[in-house]
Amino acid sequence: MAGVKKPNILKDANVYIEGKDFLGKAEIELPKVAQQTVEHSGMGISGKLELPVVGHTEKLEGKLKFTSFDSEALKVLYDSSKAHHLDVRGSVQRYNPQTGAMEEFPVQVVMRAFVKEADLPTFKQAQGEGPEFSYSAVYFKLVVDGEEVIEIDPMNYIYKVNGQNLLEQTRANLGMS
């Protein structure tokens, strides 16, 4: 059990859209990474199997919610003519039982995403609610404590886990390498 570090909490995070800081103005629901699968059955198989199509994912969708109206964010996000650069940076705190110390490490999510839908809030007196945007990411990368955990770029046949592109052979077979 040497080197075990527990428990982790997201101490704080910040959302950047097209490089602009939205500190305290936004929260983000990150996309679920779900593998595409194919069901197999037939002679020689005593049942049904669901097997992954390696490196192929379902849509990468999430939500970006603002705590108040911000005209700069609205102007950027209502522009559906291009994918927007989203950068989420957080600080995770963990307890190290060997040293008894609290430690922190960075976490970062980088995405390019198109806005699919914008929900404006209900106007209520003394409420600080802002609009919510649904997005679909065309690029996604997660970096934890300086290590790239996963990178997904379907248009370029990139599905990297721990630095290894699981679609490298597919790229070569398609003449893309």
pLDDT, tens only, 110-157:
999 999 998 887 777 777 778 899 999 999 999 999 999 999 999 999
DSSP 8-class letter at 131: -
Q: Which pairing describes strands 35-41 and 158-161: parallel, antiparallel, or unpaired?
A: unpaired
Look at residue 23 in the predicted model and tell me its pLDDT. Answer: 63
Q: Is the pLDDT of residue 67 over 60?
A: yes
Task: State the maximum Cα–Cα separation within the chain, in Å, rounded to a whole number.
Answer: 66
Domain count, the chain: 1
The answer to whether position 42 is within a domain reads no
The answer to whether position 41 is within a domain reads no
Percent of the chain with pLDDT over 70: 95
Look at residue 112 in the predicted model and tell me its pLDDT. Answer: 98
C-beta separation of 85 from 103 below 8 A: no
Q: Using CA atoms, how far apart are residues 152 and 146, in angstroms rounded to an integer?
A: 17
The answer to whether position 48 is within a domain reads no
Range of the domain at 81: 6-35+56-149
